[in-house]
Amino acid sequence: MSTTISRAATTGLVGGALWVLLPISWSVAVLDDVEPGTLGWFAVSAAYWIFAVLPPALMIVGLTALRRSLGDGRLGQVGIAVAGIGLAAMALGNGIEVASLTAGGGEVDLGHSMFLIGFLVSVVGGILTGIAVFRRRKDGLARAAGLLLVLALPLGIGLGVLGSSVDPSNDAWFWAAISVPTGIAWVLLGWSLRSVRRPAPAEFAPAS
């Protein structure tokens, strides 16, 4: 059980790290700037999938480690379920968009709407999950992650407003507002969950 939690937690940590890097990827890897069919085009296309689609899916795996760690508390279970639904919708919405872009098409309203709805759902799930983490986990990393999940929306809005005032034409700030607070929270939470130790084997008294 401990090994399974550690692997799932590591997966969530990687997802969080990629999510943090999404704004940087989006600002430097632009599909319109490369010629289709070239090595650069394939590299940028891969970056879209790796940084925009993959992270929410990896964080869903991380949620399975968190569910086992938190136990049967109702608040945590509901929060994890809602967060998982939101992340799944975000991954699917981005997947639809990226599939269209890499196939030579444009943005897809369905994918964009699904992503935004998924984001709002994930925010609600993140708040519930963050409260449960802060209450039930005692280590500093997990409690910091819980606070970040609870405050992800206002922190993201603040980051987006600040970035837009500095560079209003850069869409990377939109992605930073969405991904950076939650991504950092999952880096901290994944690292914390990886430290869960394997339970000591039970000792049996010799048969008389």
pTM, 2 dp: 0.87
pLDDT of 182: 97
The answer to whether 125 and 82 are in contact (CB under 8 A) is yes
Is there a contact between 93 and 47 (Cβ–Cβ < 8 Å)? no
Report pLDDT for 181.
96
For position 198, what pLDDT does the model report? 41
Distances (CA, A) of 108 to 93, 97, 105, 127, 175: 9, 6, 9, 29, 17
Provide the pLDDT for residue 38: 84
Q: What DSSP line would sit under 1-17, residue for residue? A: -HHHHHHHHHHHHHHHH
Q: What per-residue confidence (pLDDT) applies to 31?
A: 79
Spatial separation of the C-alpha atoms in residues 115 and 4, rounded to whole Å: 29
Give Cα 165 distance to the centre of its chain.
Answer: 26
Question: Cβ distance 8 to 61 under 8 Å?
Answer: yes
The pLDDT, as a whole number, for residue 1 is 53
Domain ranges of the chain: 2-194
Give me the pLDDT at residue 57, please: 97
Nearest Cα to Cα of residue 31 among 95, 98, 94, 91: 98
Low-confidence ranges of the chain (pLDDT < 70): 1-2, 196-208
